[in-house]
Amino acid sequence: MTKLFSGYGVVFAAVLLGLTVAAAPGKAEGPQGLLHYTTPHSFETLVEKLDQAVTDNGMFVVTRASASKGAAGRGITIRGDMVVGVYRNDFAVRMLEASVPAGIEAPIRFHIYETADGKANLAYWTPSSVFKPYDGGETLRLMAEELDSIFALIAQQAIAP
Which domain CATH number covers 84? 3.30.310.70
Question: pLDDT at position 7, please?
Answer: 39
Judging by beta carbons within 10 Å of its beta carbon (0-12, 13-18, 19+), is residue 110 exposed, middle or buried? Answer: buried
Average pLDDT over residues 121-139: 97
Percent of the chain residues past pLDDT 90, beyond the cut? 80
Q: What is the pLDDT of residues 11-68, one digit of tens each?
A: 333 332 333 333 346 666 567 899 999 999 999 999 999 999 999 999 999 999 999 9
Q: Which of 151, 152, 130 lies closest to 140, judged by CA?
A: 130
13-27, 49-63, 69-83, 125-139: lowest mean pLDDT where? 13-27
Provide the whole-model pTM. 0.81
Question: pLDDT at position 25, please?
Answer: 61
Average pLDDT over residues 127-140: 96
Tell me which residue range forms the domain holding 113.
2-159
Judging by beta carbons within 10 Å of its beta carbon (0-12, 13-18, 19+), is residue 42 exposed, middle or buried? Answer: middle
* Domain total in the chain: 1
